[in-house]
Amino acid sequence: MSERPRRGIQRKCLVCSHAGNYKDVGKYSEVTVCPKCNGAFVDRFRLEKYQDKPSLTDKPSRPVTEKIKGISIDLENEKQPLLTIELQDESSIPKVFYEGEEITGRIQISFDWITSGARDIGGMEFLIKHVDEKGIAHTIGKSRGDLL
């Protein structure tokens, strides 16, 4: 007797409302990652179990790992940016993320990038000084290429 082919699972994203019929690769999971926005992509027959969870309905600002009622979902399938600096306006304190981790206790943030032309990769240098919970100062920095 031949095995009946598996049909796809109807899923809906709790963030962007994308819906579709998808086949699970490997083991079945009630919640997977939305292919459109990296939000929580839930089996449609389990939606009510997850719909009122604010952490699942907020659009992730960067890839994260979430735990949902004992199910671990790895949303870090994309390469993390090395450095992200977010500045709301010219009078706000910048948020700094290095290799996906937020740097707190910031003392100094410096970033330089320069190129000699449109086709030149250029040179880059950054420096982040911060203190940890114990008041110990740390420095993160990298440089590449020539800064003219």
pLDDT digits (tens, 9 = 90+) for 86-117: 988 889 889 999 888 899 999 999 998 888 77
Cα-based distances in Å from 2 to 5, 6: 9, 12
Note the pLDDT of residue 123: 87
Which residues lie closer than 8 Å to 1 by C-beta, 6 or more apart? none
Q: What is the pairing mode between strands 40-43 and 9-13?
A: antiparallel
Q: Which residue has the higher pLDDT, 79 or 39?
A: 39
| For residue 18, pLDDT beyond 80 | yes
pLDDT at residue 70 is higher than 80: no
Confidence at 25, pLDDT banded by 50, 70, 90: low
Question: For residue 63, what pLDDT is reported?
Answer: 47
> What's the CA gap between 58 and 14, in Å, rounded?
8
Alpha carbons 49 and 47: distance in angstroms, whole number: 5
Q: How confident is the model at residue 4 (pLDDT cuts 50, 70, 90)?
A: very low
- Break the chain into its structural domains and give their ranges: 9-74, 83-144
